[in-house]
Amino acid sequence: MSDQEPAFSGSDLGVTPLEELLAPIVGQLPPNTSLSPLRYDLNAGVPDRASLPAAKLSAATQAVLASDAAAALTYGGQQGYEPLRVWIAARAAATSGVAVGPEHVTLTSGSAHGLQNVALTFLAQGDTVIVGAPTYPGAIRTFRARGARIITVPQDDDGLDPAALEQTLNSLRSAGVRPKLLYVIPNYDNPTGATLPLERRQSIVRIAHQYGTLIVEDDAYAGLDLDGPPPPSLFALANGRGVIQLGTFSKTVATGLRVAWVLSERFIIDALVHMRFDNGASPFLHRIVLHFLKSGAYEPHVERLQSIYRERRDAAASALIEHAEPYARFRVPAGGFFLWLHLAEPLRADAVRAAAIARQVAVTPGSTYFAQGGGERELRLVYSALPPEELRDAIARLGEAMAAVAEGGE
Ligand SMILES: Cc1ncc(COP(=O)(O)O)c(C=O)c1O
């Protein structure tokens, strides 16, 4: 179309505008989050840029193109490159003790896509899904987009509360409702940073099995252990039955790769593959990632990330104690990217957020993470993306913002 030509619109034909053709859900979902233009972005949950393994991925790319170009550059099938699935399954078998092979893995374009694949495969309009309050907004959107009814279960500093889960499932059962999915982030939760203790994991697996609800275990922050390894996964505790585990190389290699996987029992993986209409994820990227994984560089890279994020987490926690102690309570997370702040009376997240923006600091209000309301006194803060000295300055400004709001000035 030339610059002069007006854009086509339904109203040109004397019919109603084309915007009316959009599915109603398009207008009902909140906007996607984006990077902040402010000086300090404590909002976007992104990894440290300086530690991205660009040189190693460049070498892997050269090697793949030199040895396997035709296969790398041709459709690779819906389930994904088998040797990468073999690597993922072998690692999962070693850590979980569950006998899994490549047939139990399907590769997706990010775990966000894995979640969509799960939602498309299991959910129809009106089906019920259980999520934490709070939880990852990407999961809320994905389930909403399928027309699911979302029921929340409270989370505390130790993550999802099993007693509340049981109560919820019980009252749903009395009403004749069997929720299809229970979505949980057991390690270094987004947004709370909480890690479920072993006893809660055992209870959640028992309860979900008892009520016939499938667990979706999102392990997006796996490997970013800052205080040693977490307890066994829900997948391991359930011996691989009734659990769909989502994994990703986004946080330990690069978010831009979009290489991730789903691990589950055979009939579930087969159904997920059956419900894919995207011609599969990238066989080129699968080979690059596998080359990187096998080069011996992956484990030291993850250890380096752990020490970078440990230093940042500790810097953020001590800056919060120094600058925001009277205004915010928090639990130091054992891994991942996030600190979750509970604001003291009379502070409200929206007011603190606005006062922080005026000081060039972006933080995320808690309400973003609640599917059924809540979070007015909570804030999520990302410590992964900024070096310690910038984090300290950003948090000093955030503390000033809290003080200004508390004194009624803003
Ligand atoms: C809990 C959780 N799950 C899934 C994702 C999606 O990750 P990706 O699609 O990059 O694998 C994120 C990203 O922030 C996340 O926080």
Residue whose CA lies nearest to ligand 1 atom number 2: 220
Q: What distance in Å separates the CA atoms of residue 18 and residue 11, rounded to the nearest whole number?
A: 8
Q: How far is the CA of 30 from the centre of ligand 1 (A)?
A: 18
Same domain, 42 and 64: no
Range 61-92 burial, b when 16+ CB lie within 10 A, else e: beebeeeeeeebeeebebbbbbebbebbbeeb
The predicted structure's pLDDT at residue 410:
75
Average pLDDT for residues 266-270, to the nearest whole number? 98
Question: Structural domain of residue 386, as residue ranges?
Answer: 32-52+300-406
Average pLDDT for residues 117-121, to the nearest whole number? 98
Same domain, 44 and 125: no
Same domain, 70 and 92: yes
Q: What distance in Å separates the CA atoms of residue 109 and residue 401, rounded to the nearest whole number?
A: 39
Ligand 1 pocket, residues with Cβ under 6 angstroms = 45, 110-112, 136, 138, 185, 190, 218, 220, 248, 250, 255, 260
Range 148-176 burial, b when 16+ CB lie within 10 A, else e: bebbbbebeeebbbbebbbebbeebeeee
Q: How far is the CA of 107 from the centre of ligand 1 (A)?
A: 15
The predicted structure's pLDDT at residue 85:
98
The predicted structure's pLDDT at residue 13:
59
Instruction: Please give the number of the atom of ligand 1 that sits closest to the Cα of 112.
Output: 9
Decide if 5 is inside a domain: no
Instruction: Please give the number of the atom of ligand 1 that sits closest to the Cα of 109.
Output: 9
Contact present, 302 and 375 (Cβ < 8 Å):
no
Instruction: Please give the number of the atom of ligand 1 that sits closest to the Cα of 258.
Output: 10
Same domain, 304 and 288: no
Decide if 13 is inside a domain: no
Residue by residue, DSSP assigns 350-361 as HHHHHHHHTTTE
- Token reading at 310: 């440990």
pLDDT at position 5 over 80:
no
Same domain, 334 and 399: yes
Q: How far is the CA of 320 from the centre of ligand 1 (A)?
A: 26
Q: What is the CATH number of the domain that holds 241?
A: 3.40.640.10
Look over the chain and give the mean of its residue pLDDT values, rounded to a whole number. 95
Same domain, 95 and 192: yes
pTM score, whole prediction: 0.95
Residue whose CA lies nearest to ligand 1 atom number 12: 220
Decide if 20 is inside a domain: no
Instruction: Please give the number of the atom of ligand 1 that sits closest to the Cα of 260.
Output: 11
The predicted structure's pLDDT at residue 2:
40
Instruction: Please give the number of the atom of ligand 1 that sits closest to the Cα of 113.
Output: 9
Decide if 317 is inside a domain: yes
Same domain, 176 and 205: yes
Q: State which of 294, 309, 343 marks the end of a domain.
A: 294
Same domain, 335 and 225: no
Span 350-396, pLDDT tens digits = 999 999 999 999 999 999 999 999 999 999 999 999 999 999 999 99
Instruction: Please give the number of the atom of ligand 1 that sits closest to the Cα of 189.
Output: 1
Decide if 24 is inside a domain: no
Q: What distance in Å separates the CA atoms of residue 151 and residue 126, rounded to the nearest whole number?
A: 12
Q: State which of 294, 328, 348 marks the end of a domain.
A: 294
Split at pLDDT 50, 70, 90, the class of 12 is low
Decide if 193 is inside a domain: yes
Same domain, 212 and 189: yes
Decide if 271 is inside a domain: yes
Q: State which of 268, 294, 320 marks the end of a domain.
A: 294
The predicted structure's pLDDT at residue 34:
75
Decide if 10 is inside a domain: no
For residue 203, give the nearest of 251, 168, 160 by alpha carbon. 160
Span 129-170, pLDDT tens digits = 999 999 999 999 999 999 999 999 999 999 999 999 999 999
Q: How far is the CA of 248 from the centre of ligand 1 (A)?
A: 8
Same domain, 247 and 391: no
Q: How far is the CA of 45 from the centre of ligand 1 (A)?
A: 9
The predicted structure's pLDDT at residue 7:
52
Q: How far is the CA of 317 from the centre of ligand 1 (A)?
A: 23
Contacts of 344 (CB under 8 A, 6+ apart): 326, 327, 328, 329
Question: Ligand 1, residues 52, 108, 250, 261: which to mutate, most atoms within 8 A of Cβ?
Answer: 250
Counting the structural domains of the chain, the total is: 2
Same domain, 46 and 96: no
Average pLDDT for residues 118-135, to the nearest whole number? 98
Q: What is the CATH number of the domain that holds 342?
A: 3.90.1150.10
Same domain, 347 and 264: no
